[in-house]
Structure 1
Amino acid sequence: MRNNADVTSTPPQTPAPTPRTRLIATDLDGTLLRDDKSVSDRTIAALAAAEEAGIEVFFVTGRPARWMNVVSDHVHGHGLAICGNGAAVVDLHGGPGAHRFVKIRAIAHETALEVVDILRTAAPGTSFAVERTGGIHHELPYPPLHLDPAVTIAPAEKLLAEDSDVADQPVLKLLAHHAELSPDAFLTLAREAIGDTATVTRSSPTALLEISAAGVSKASTLALCCAERGITQDEVVAFGDMPNDVEMLTWAGTSYAMGNAHPDVIAAASGRTVANNEDGVAVVIEQILADRLGG
């Protein structure tokens, strides 16, 4: 769904004025990062300028903590990021291999097993992966991750067993892949089948679902972090491009869908900026800072 064709020229649309911005929450892939997974010089400068102006910047992503090296050099001040679609808050200070979990919102083993059973019935052919704090484990049919090889390959039921070798590591999310269903069709089917047992979303252009504990999302964990800082939702500006960003964009006082965003994201956001490859996040940050100087 992250296809920039015909949408990269979408002009930014500025929402109505809001109270003074105190926190910027931005997704990474398809949002802050360009398609080559780089952070542009313009974006790096905008993030630094925001922090210098006293605006906290939170990276809020579906990525696991070990995939955060791409932005570790660009954290300032608090150094925190929300990973795994809200399942963990991670301190990125210290660089690669030194990331520290500050908050974990795990999905219970029994809930994950229930979800596996539901999806095996509702969508035969589904394969699963289990994301724990120490790495990813997946079934043999699950598409291999060349960037991140599995720690263990086994049936999901074994990966989630209470007596597994890694049972002491919290389960951050369950991933489900289907080789034949379309991404949105798989998401709709899974949400209907699973109901309120767990939170189901997606951020991949393929039929890959990300499943967290009930009530866990980018939005709910961001809300917790903001409450700890005395920041209200009206003081938050958020950016995103995929369905796993919808709750966060709806929650934030001001939100922007990227020019390359999924239709559901465009509908949820209060404004729209240009595509990720055109530095859409930086464009808005620069305007926020310019307005502040002008005021």
Structure 2
Amino acid sequence: MRENGPVTSATGTPETPASPQLATSIPTPFAASLPTSSEHGGTPAVAPRLIATDLDGTLLRDDKSVSPRTIAALAAAEKAGIEVFFVTGRPARWMDIVSEHVHGHGLAICGNGAAVVDLHGGPGAHRFMKVRELARQNALTAALLLREAAPGAVFAVEQTYGFHQEPAYPKLHMEVPDTLAPAEELLADDGPGAAEPVLKILAFHPELDPDAFLTLARLAVGEHANVTRSSPSALLELSGPGVSKASTLALCCAERGILPEEVVAFGDMPNDVEMLTWAGRSYAMGNAHPAALAAASGRTTGNNDDGVALVIERLLADLA
């Protein structure tokens, strides 16, 4: 998910923190990487049962709209019996943009796997079905380690129903924070919103290169949190150990009896890497980060050119 502009949110195998080393190889061109009747060394492609797609930089156009072609493709997939899961770094309160496009189950994976949310209630009525929190002690330890490794780093805290930040944290997000205080106070056991789980913390550095900051943070934080990024700026997202889009998607699929080879995934940024690796078929967008391009088994066109819809249409044509 590429989070352009004012976005708060905010990862390999499931339940394992991603490697700090980002791959940079580029896969085959788009024309050679659309789904075919046989993939992965000639093995017949398994009929898909679930489509998992990132939002920003993937399903959504740069203006944050869902194109008519994409809306039609999602509806056609659901009509064909293929579940569609939105899997995003966004917090639940930012899911209104796609709430009307959920069908059937109405579930979305938010916060890079930290929560499974039922969107059926519409704006302001989202229900948390599963929460995979970042323990406050882990969050505080990770923040202190990262601050020591990267002086100048500042932090914000994302909870189920709250958002808090340090005074020096820049105005990157839509909402006004509920609390301004140092990370040590925000993440204390009796800190703001102590009764609510912490979904993730956000770390921003005003000077470091985004990928360099990511690598440094993964080395510094270690097993205390899973570290990723989805923003073009040096904004990192820290979730609970083992929590990622992929690991939560794997849990949801296991509950449905859906195998990895029956999943088709789409993404564009480092926080999509585990999901793109885990799914039986995966597609990086034409506008994707090199790490996502290297992780995916295929490539489609960019988010502004309906890359997700293009693949879904081809999948459905193959099933006809």
Matching residue of 2:233: 206
Match of 2:319 among 278, 292, 295: 292
**2:153 counterpart of 1:126:** yes
**2:316 counterpart of 1:260:** no
Task: Answer whether contact 1:18 1:253 (CA < 8 A) is retained.
Answer: no
Q: Could you tell me how far apart the structure 2 residues matched to 1:35 and 1:285 are?
A: 20
Alignment of 1:144-159 (within 5 A): 144-159=171-186
Q: With a CA cutoff of 8 Å and minimum separation of 6, indicate the structure with the bigger relative contact order.
A: 2
Alignment of 1:3-22 (within 5 A): 10-11=30-31, 13-15=33-35, 16=39, 17-22=44-49
Q: Could you tell me how far apart the structure 2 residues matched to 1:234 and 1:42 are?
A: 26
Deviations 1:3-29 (A, max 9, x none): xxxxxx954612514211000000000
Alignment of 1:116-195 (within 5 A): 116-195=143-222
Aligned Cα RMSD in Å? 1.3
Matching residue of 2:109: 82
How far does residue 85 in structure 1 lie from its aligned partner after superposition? 0.2
Alignment of 1:19-34 (within 5 A): 19-34=46-61
**2:260 counterpart of 1:233:** yes
Q: Could you tell me how far apart the structure 2 residues matched to 1:135 and 1:59 are?
A: 22
**2:70 counterpart of 1:70:** no
Q: 1:65 to 1:258 in 2, by over 3 A?
A: same
2:180 match: secondary structure = coil
1:131 match: secondary structure = strand
Matching residue of 2:64: 37
Q: Could you tell me how far apart the structure 1 residues matched to 2:82 and 2:107 are?
A: 14
Q: 1:25 to 1:12 in 2, by over 3 A?
A: farther
Task: Answer whether contact 1:12 1:274 (CA < 8 A) is retained.
Answer: no
Task: Answer whether contact 2:162 2:193 (CA < 8 A) is retained.
Answer: no
2:57 match: secondary structure = helix
Task: Answer whether contact 2:114 2:132 (CA < 8 A) is retained.
Answer: yes
Q: What is the one-letter code of the residue matched to 2:84? A: V
Q: What is the one-letter code of the residue matched to 1:107? A: L
2:238 match: secondary structure = strand
Matching residue of 2:21: none
Q: Could you tell me how far apart the structure 1 residues matched to 2:99 and 2:238 are?
A: 25
1:256 match: secondary structure = strand
Task: Answer whether contact 2:77 2:316 (CA < 8 A) is retained.
Answer: yes
Q: 1:135 to 1:124 in 2, by over 3 A?
A: same
How far does residue 135 in structure 1 lie from its aligned partner after superposition? 2.0
Q: Could you tell me how far apart the structure 2 residues matched to 1:238 and 1:80 are?
A: 16
How far does residue 195 in structure 1 lie from its aligned partner after superposition? 1.5
Matching residue of 1:220: 247
How far does residue 141 in structure 1 lie from its aligned partner after superposition? 1.1
Q: 1:169 to 1:12 in 2, by over 3 A?
A: farther
How far does residue 194 in structure 1 lie from its aligned partner after superposition? 1.2
Q: What is the one-letter code of the residue matched to 1:31? A: T
How far does residue 146 in structure 1 lie from its aligned partner after superposition? 4.6
Q: 1:279 to 1:195 in 2, by over 3 A?
A: same
Between Structure 1 and Structure 2, how many residues are aligned?
A: 287
**2:299 counterpart of 1:272:** yes
How far does residue 32 in structure 1 lie from its aligned partner after superposition? 0.1
2:140 match: secondary structure = helix
Deviation above 4 Å: which 4+ runs of structure 1?
A: none
Task: Answer whether contact 1:11 1:274 (CA < 8 A) is retained.
Answer: no
How far does residue 75 in structure 1 lie from its aligned partner after superposition? 0.3
The two structures have a TM-score, normalised by structure 1, of 0.95
